[in-house]
Amino acid sequence: MKPSVGRIVHYYTLGGAFSGKPIAATITETATENPYRSPMDVGIFGMHHEASIQLESVSYSEKPKPGCWSWPPRVA
């Protein structure tokens, strides 16, 4: 799948209370707006009931990895 603005993804923090746990995030920017980034790098706005986070140029990882985003697992 190709990332696009408005899609919901999971972001895994680098540390702290949420380390290793997914945070729901919305893609706010894609590499198409910035040709110097990897095609899968995105800007995100992450939401949690205790905090929010806004980051740009977040790398994609197929498997959950701290500091990266991934697609949420499909539920049957």
Please give the chain's pLDDT, 76 residues, in tens. Answer: 889 999 999 999 887 766 778 899 999 999 876 667 788 999 999 988 877 889 988 999 999 899 999 999 888 7
The residue segments making up the domain with residue 27 are 8-70
Q: Which residues contact 57 (CB under 8 A, 6 or more apart)?
A: 34, 37, 41, 42, 43
* 66 domain-assigned: yes
Q: Does residue 2 form part of some domain? A: no
Burial class of residue 46 (count of CB atoms within 10 Å of its CB; 0-12, 13-18, 19+): buried
Q: How many folded domains does the chain comprise?
A: 1
Cα–Cα distance list, 76 to 8, 18, 30, 73 (Å): 18, 26, 28, 10
Does residue 3 lie within any of the structural domains?
no
Q: Is residue 53 part of a domain?
A: yes
Tell me, yes or no, whether 76 lies in a domain. Answer: no
| Residue 16 falls inside a structural domain | yes
Quick check: is 64 in a domain? yes
Q: In the chain, which ranges are continuous DSSP H helix?
A: none
